[in-house]
A and B are shown apart, each in its own frame.
Chain A
Amino acid sequence: MKWSLESAEKSSAPQRGGNDADEFIRNNVMMVTLEDMVAWGRKNSIWPFNFGLSCCYVEMATAFTSRHDLARFGAEVIRGTPRQADMIVIAGTVFRKMAPVVKQLYDQLLEPKWVISMGSCANSGGMYDIYSVVQGVDKFLPVDVYVSGCPPRPEALLQGLLLLQEQIGKQRRPLSWVINEQGIIQREKDEVQRVVRGPERIAATELRSPDEI
């Protein structure tokens, strides 16, 4: 690789013109609509509810620790009570005995609220097609993002969170309190991940061998 250094003053990048006042305004004033501003704020300050059911919760907790550091995305303020939280990660298997409890906790979350279904069990029952397990938390809760895996890696949860944030950032909601229908407007259709990354993955020809580290 070839590279060279030159001093910053000689940089050929285009320079902004204008006087100091223009510069000051550019750096400090932002023109947006109020709804976009609120959506931006919501998106970057999700407060998750401290809730876990089984194995997936361990990986969810791992996402909070230093290597993965969920705090980078403004979603590290886990709350012990649903009344202070606006997002619940259904991390683990949803059991028949636990389902009414999950339902009640969800009902107690503040509006607007979001649900991430983490792991195969919460998504669909997964490998537990058994009498005591609800076949997917979406049997009784609306789910915004499904994260696949058994359990999903912490990175997968981070990606799920980013998807949710993207979705929240594009949503317009009424600014005041609304009863019943929330009047949410989706501004852009969400792109399905598979469509976005599919061609890239299919194009891959060299896969790493499992026989060496």
Chain B
Amino acid sequence: MLAAEQSKEDTGRVVYSGPANAAVEFLKKEFVGDVLAEQANCDRIPTLWFDRAKVKAVLNCLRENSFAGSRFEMLFDLTAIDERARVHRDGQPSSEFTVMYHLMSFSGNCDMRIKVPLFDADLVLPTVSDLWSNANWYEREVWDMFGIRFDGHPNLYRLVLPPTWEGHALRKEHPARATEMEPFSLNDVQTDAEQEALKFKPEEWGMQKKSEDSEFMFLNLGPNHPSVHGAFRIAVQLDGEILVDAVPDIGYHHRGAEKMGERQSWHTFIPYTDRIDYLGGVMNNLPYVMAVEKMAGIQVPERVKVIRVMLSEMFRICSHLLFYGTFAQDVGQLSPIFYMFVERERIFNIIESICGARMHPGWFRIGGVAQDLPAGWEKRIRELLDFMPARLDEYDSMVLNNGILKRRTQGIGSYTTEEAFDWGITGAGLRATGYEWDYRKQRPYSGYENFEFDIPIAENGDCYDRCAVRVEEMRQSLRIIKQCVDNMPAGDYKSSHPLTTPPRKEKSMKDIETLINHFLSVSWGPVIPPTEVSMAIEATKGINGYYLVSDGNTTSYRTRIRTPSFAHLQMIPAISRGFMVSDLIAIIASIDFVMADVDR
């Protein structure tokens, strides 16, 4: 992808692809002497370091201006790194903590990283929540996890961990294991205290208790409510039945996956990725293993690519079916989900016969997949391909063409493409606004450039359109799966690169070098060279990205997981103001999120 478009000039200076290069040139001219460093990474995304006094101006400049005809529309990710234990930092300014802004240009199809060095004694920098709406939660998360404060942030409260928590979990001195900490206990007094701390206080959010002519009601929805799809809570301010404002509260599903990445070896972290978007199954493995492969310099065989695509698309259908059913259920149609689970069972049957598990196979490996396809694998898939299109048509008449469903969802919770960029919305939520952008098409990975498929889009960006786009995506996924079955290349299911994990066994009993490599790689796990990498895919719910920092060790130094649902949930208040409570349920259903994908 980007690496291919890039070359080194005679001067030895790195040239990036089109707009990114223009932006780097522009920043260097505009902020002469302020660029602390230009960091080179294996993913070749331009990474510039600025002092915190300048960073806001830099980000604003990137947001406002267009470079070679395209803008950086989205704050894709904002996170931090605790650098205090890191060894390999060649060419980087010294810092104890680093805040990283990852900007993404959709029109120019390129990325940009801005980094800011900070020191433990003074962990403050200016907020950018006034530049991008989605920065709000990202900054709260950084405060919660690292203790870095953002000056001027409107509500810098803990986002993920409970308000009673002590310490900041992603700092290196914070314990990782529960078994390293005090044993957990919960008596009635503690329960009451914790519940009291979780209580929603409208004053904290600057909410008025009454207007001139009416008194508001505050309704607490969740964290256990059938319509919030998991452990998610949203406090709503109501004027009668009209929703005045809402405050989503997350963190009830925080499994510490990022901290886990610093403890598990590169290989043994794979099963944890399965459980990030737990409806996406092996598709979650893909950005992670591709990121590690990029750092290790592994090229995977064609057969591996096609197997990966095929299984990922099956999980896309599975996830979309569950969305489709629960969406219909939430707006009052109880039966479709029972039909759709029949299809899910069919697909799980296939998944199970190939991978040996249903929801979380954890089946991709660094440099390949766990096993070759079993004999006779294509039979059930062909049955599915014959069976499913007619069922999808039936569901159209059952759900999408249903008059009540249309009236409940059309014109509800709509937003424009610009708003979508501002809130970091990706995936079907972005395409429903009429913007045709799909990671699989724009930046093909794992051989997607070899497949024929269309990118479904819609016009209005409302609840109905978000559903319609996903329904059409299922048909496109079936198309892709058919091409996989028809054209499955022969060859290895694992690369012969020495960092492939687990490494190939055949030669290990024949020469000592291979035996040593096999032994080390199986006992310690692979050692990945020190570098940084970002890798993202079009996941079931939007763009799912991994940002990995390797310090030349058997584990990751920092694992950052950028999930689509996190950004999507943050937008709920903005798109549901002025609607009724029942519309809020339709909006929540149309977003298609799982809480594990939000809180990780």
Interface residues of A (CB under 8 A from B): 50-55, 57-59, 61-62, 65-67, 80, 93, 95-101, 103-105, 125, 127-135, 139-140, 150-151, 153, 210-213
- B255 in contact with A80 (CB, 8 Å): no
Closest 7 A-B residue pairs measured CB to CB?
A130-B256, A65-B341, A100-B194, A55-B278, A212-B375, A140-B186, A97-B162
Identify the closest chain B residue to A98 (Cβ): B252
Give the contact stretch, choosing among B40-48, B57-65, B223-231, B503-511. B223-231
Query: How many whole Å from B315's CB to the nearest CB in chain A?
Result: 13
Find chain B residues with CB under 8 A from A140 CB: 184-186
- B337 in contact with A153 (CB, 8 Å): no
Query: In the complex, A55 Cα to B278 Cα: how many Å?
Result: 6
Query: In the complex, A101 Cα to B185 Cα: how many Å?
Result: 14
Return the contact of B272 from the options A51, A57, A127, A139 (Cβ within 8 A). Answer: A127
Return the contact of A133 from the options B174, B178, B194, B223 (Cβ within 8 A). Answer: B178
Query: In the complex, A105 Cα to B191 Cα: how many Å?
Result: 11
- A67 in contact with B359 (CB, 8 Å): no
Query: In the complex, A131 Cα to B255 Cα: how many Å?
Result: 8
Query: In the complex, A213 Cα to B355 Cα: how many Å?
Result: 11
Identify the closest chain B residue to A52 (Cβ): B230
Query: How many whole Å from A171's CB to the nearest CB in chain B?
Result: 27
Query: How many whole Å from B140's CB to the nearest CB in chain A?
Result: 15
Query: How many whole Å from B341's CB to the nearest CB in chain A?
Result: 4
Given A54-B278, A58-B359, the answer on whether A130 and B177 have CB atoms closer than 8 Å is yes
- A131 in contact with B252 (CB, 8 Å): no
- B376 in contact with A213 (CB, 8 Å): yes
- B344 in contact with A211 (CB, 8 Å): no
Identify the closest chain A residue to B177 (Cβ): A129
Interface residues of B (CB under 8 A from A): 161-162, 169, 174-179, 181, 183-186, 190-191, 194-195, 198, 223-224, 226, 230-231, 251-256, 259-260, 271-272, 275, 278-279, 322, 337-338, 341-342, 344-345, 353, 356, 358-360, 371-372, 374-377, 379-380, 595-596
Given A54-B230, A55-B278, A100-B186, the answer on whether A210 and B376 have CB atoms closer than 8 Å is no
**Given contact pairs A54-B255, A96-B162, A103-B191, a sample of 9 additional A-B residue pairs in the complex whose CB atoms are under 8 Å apart:** A58-B359, A100-B186, A129-B179, A130-B178, A130-B256, A131-B177, A135-B179, A139-B183, A140-B186
Query: How many whole Å from B178's CB to the nearest CB in chain A?
Result: 5
Query: How many whole Å from A65's CB to the nearest CB in chain B?
Result: 4
Query: How many whole Å from A88's CB to the nearest CB in chain B?
Result: 10
- A131 in contact with B175 (CB, 8 Å): yes
Query: In the complex, A58 Cα to B323 Cα: how many Å?
Result: 12
Find chain A residues with CB under 8 A from B272 CB: 127
Given A97-B162, A99-B186, A132-B161, the answer on whether A212 and B376 have CB atoms closer than 8 Å is yes
Which of A128, A139, A153 has the most CB atoms of chain B within a 10 A radius of its CB? A128
- B195 in contact with A101 (CB, 8 Å): yes
Find chain B residues with CB under 8 A from A97 CB: 161-162, 198, 251-252, 254
- A51 in contact with B256 (CB, 8 Å): no
Find chain A residues with CB under 8 A from B162 CB: 96-97
- B161 in contact with A101 (CB, 8 Å): no
Query: How many whole Å from B337's CB to the nearest CB in chain A?
Result: 7
- B230 in contact with A132 (CB, 8 Å): no
Query: How many whole Å from B358's CB to the nearest CB in chain A?
Result: 7
Find chain B residues with CB under 8 A from A58 CB: 278-279, 322, 359
Query: In the complex, A211 Cα to B253 Cα: how many Å?
Result: 37
Identify the closest chain A residue to B192 (Cβ): A100
Query: How many whole Å from B316's CB to the nearest CB in chain A?
Result: 16
- A66 in contact with B178 (CB, 8 Å): no
Query: How many whole Å from B311's CB to the nearest CB in chain A?
Result: 15
Query: In the complex, A150 Cα to B198 Cα: how many Å?
Result: 29
- A131 in contact with B341 (CB, 8 Å): no
Query: In the complex, A115 Cα to B31 Cα: how many Å?
Result: 62
Find chain A residues with CB under 8 A from B178 CB: 125, 128-135
Find chain B residues with CB under 8 A from A151 CB: 358-360
Find chain B residues with CB under 8 A from A135 CB: 178-179, 184
Given A127-B272, A135-B178, the answer on whether A95 and B356 have CB atoms closer than 8 Å is no
Query: In the complex, A80 Cα to B227 Cα: how many Å?
Result: 10
- A54 in contact with B256 (CB, 8 Å): no
Query: How many whole Å from A50's CB to the nearest CB in chain B?
Result: 5
Find chain B residues with CB under 8 A from A65 CB: 337-338, 341-342, 345
Chosen A-B contacts, 10 in total, with CB atoms closer than 8 Å, are: A53-B230, A58-B279, A62-B341, A62-B345, A95-B254, A95-B255, A98-B231, A100-B191, A131-B259, A211-B375
Given A101-B224, A210-B356, the answer on whether A54 and B595 have CB atoms closer than 8 Å is yes
- B256 in contact with A80 (CB, 8 Å): no
- B176 in contact with A96 (CB, 8 Å): no
- A67 in contact with B374 (CB, 8 Å): no
- A66 in contact with B341 (CB, 8 Å): yes
